[in-house]
Structure 1
Amino acid sequence: MSSERISVDPESLRVAAGGNADAASVLDEYGRACKAWMDEVEEEIIRCHGLVSAPVGAALRDFFGGVVDEVSAAGGTHTGMDENLSAAAARYDEADASGAARVSASGGVL
């Protein structure tokens, strides 16, 4: 185990949090686009090829439903990481401010 101090820059945590928030947003949008596309395509397959093609539409819906589930899970993971990193940055800022206040209160110079 290292005895070296760890230096954490809360702003870097916020930047990483923002990247995760952006990724979650992109994934959510992709999931919505997949759902919208599937709604149109399934209807179009049946309209063009009749009810005999319904199993193809259902298979596509099942496949893309799985894609949407995976995308939603990944988006949720990124959202959680955004929240965790943002909270960690806030805790580091609070600890820094608290330490500075204690030094100031003891007569130290900041």
Structure 2
Amino acid sequence: MGKIMLGLMCLVALGFSAQEQEYAPRISFKDIVQSQVGVVKKVMDLNEKVDELQKALAKLQKEHEQTYAKISQLENELSSKKTTTKPQEGQVNVPSSYIDLIDQAKSWVK
């Protein structure tokens, strides 16, 4: 009796496994090729985006260098003006735009 039950259980197990294989999805060569084509397209799109980003980065680096050069030039000019123009005792260096404002304020007081 035990051998018969064991045999029936084996048949039932084989039947279930056969049903699972029957409903298992089948992957064809065409499916594999289509998925690879999709991957290649995505990689090509990413390469284009990387190229655009590299160009933008190069442009930003160039602008940064130009800005840095201008700032260095302005710092050099400022330091040269500080060393060449020494205020006399009792006098203060005031930019010309402030002098105009001071003159205007003096005229209002009068």
Same fold (TM over 0.5): no
TM-score band w.r.t. shorter chain: 0.3 to 0.5
TM-score normalised by L of structure 1: 0.43
Question: Per chain length, whose mean CA-contact separation is higher, i.e. which structure has more relative contact order (CA < 8 Å, sep 6+)?
Answer: 1
Q: Under a length normalisation based on structure 2, what TM-score does the superposition of the two structures give?
A: 0.43
